Amino acid sequence: MTTTKPGLRPVNPQFSSGPCAKRPGWTLQALKDAALGRSHRAKIGKAKLKQAIDLTREILNVPADYKIGIVPASDTGAVEMALWSTLGARPVTMLAWESFGEGWVTDVVKQLKLKDVTELKAAYGELPDLSKIDFKSDVVFTWNGTTSGVRVPNGDWIPANREGLTICDATSAAFAQNLDFAKLDVVTFSWQKVLGGEGAHGMLILSPRAVERLETYKPAWPLPKIFRMTKGGKLIDGIFVGETINTPSMLCVEDYLDALLWAKSVGGLKGLQARSDANAKVLSDWVAKTAWIDHLAKKPETRSNTSVCLVVADPAVTKLTLDEQAAFAKNLTSILEKEGVAYDIAFYRDAPPGLRIWCGATIETKDVEALTPWLDWAFEQAKAALPKAA
């Protein structure tokens, strides 16, 4: 039993899966050049917004003929814009294996009320059978399941000659995993995940096929101004060069620019992926030698390198009811929070009870290494607090 507190603590205890830790060395001084008190439509505002788009393209290796826009309401806003503006032209296949994917199913079936919808679902820890997808339909999916720690391993399952659009929520994958843009028509993410930016702003990336859909298809339902990307049957191109639909926070824009420049300094996309991979490997190696914990994701090739989700495997806990297991996990994470060792690593409310530890690029590997002995210690404390069997 691990009764002695570990001596080494993580320097940064912020392992939240969103908003995520700021980049190493970040201070408020990084925002000193923000265009505060200036119009986002002034020359300086437009220049900063365009720089954010250009750096996004450069670091993510977005094809030159794809459009990139900054949109309202974080990743959720970007996904909603895509769903409400493009769907309804043909049948839709919805993939879901965690709570956010389920949320998009609800939007399409209960809010848009589309009738020709196929739902392919899997339990937490698994992927749906991707071979069953009819790509004559539009396909909506998350690349990385933020609340399950399950990701698609690659884009090989998507045919190049697909007839429908692929709409991908990539918010916890962008900048940490290889997004196969040739297989993706709409890609969305927010600033607050892998790069540790601020919330409330989303990114919307459109392929030429997605632009064609927007310019040739008019949905049967009215679109609020905040969702409209076309005028007179043509794409509003200004959205994709920095002329945002509504007013962005120039303070948040400056923070995103700082994060993008930091990303370049650590080797761009490859450097960011290497950092995330190294962090996730520390946890995987620890799980492999630790009897009381296991990955929620069943197959190694589908395990996330950002939102790593774990479940308690100790028999003293697995025999408990789900409510009791949830209480155990919350007690374990509360112990760590009180020690100032790890914040916000409890499971997502709809997910199986356990831990969710962010391993994105802004996390330092040495902090993950320092965390694992504390996880063992906190588990023993939480286990000791369980009622004794009669």
User: Exposed, middle or buried, 365 (CB in 10 Å: 0-12/13-18/19+)?
Assistant: middle
> Is pLDDT at 254 greater than 50 in this prediction?
yes
Going by pLDDT thresholds of 50, 70 and 90, the confidence category of residue 300 is very high
* Residues in contact with 76: Cβ distance below 8 Å, sequence separation at least 6, in sequence order: 202
- Per-residue pLDDT reduced to its tens digit, 18-33: 999 999 999 999 999 9
User: Taking a C-beta distance cutoff of 8 angstroms, is the pair 239, 72 a contact?
Assistant: no
Q: How many CB atoms neighbour CB 183 within 10 A?
A: 17
> Is pLDDT at 17 greater than 50 in this prediction?
yes
Judged by phi (left if over 0) then psi (alpha if -120 to 50, else beta), residue 175 lies in left
- Per-residue pLDDT reduced to its tens digit, 159-217: 999 999 999 999 999 999 999 999 999 999 999 999 999 999 999 999 999 999 999 99
Domains in the chain, CATH or no CATH each: 28-264 (3.40.640.10), 268-384 (3.90.1150.10)
Instruction: Specify the pairing of strand 293-295 against strand 234-235.
Output: unpaired
CA distance 333 to 366: 20
- Per-residue pLDDT reduced to its tens digit, 102-129: 999 999 999 999 999 999 999 999 999 9
Model-level pTM greater than 0.75? yes
Going by pLDDT thresholds of 50, 70 and 90, the confidence category of residue 2 is low
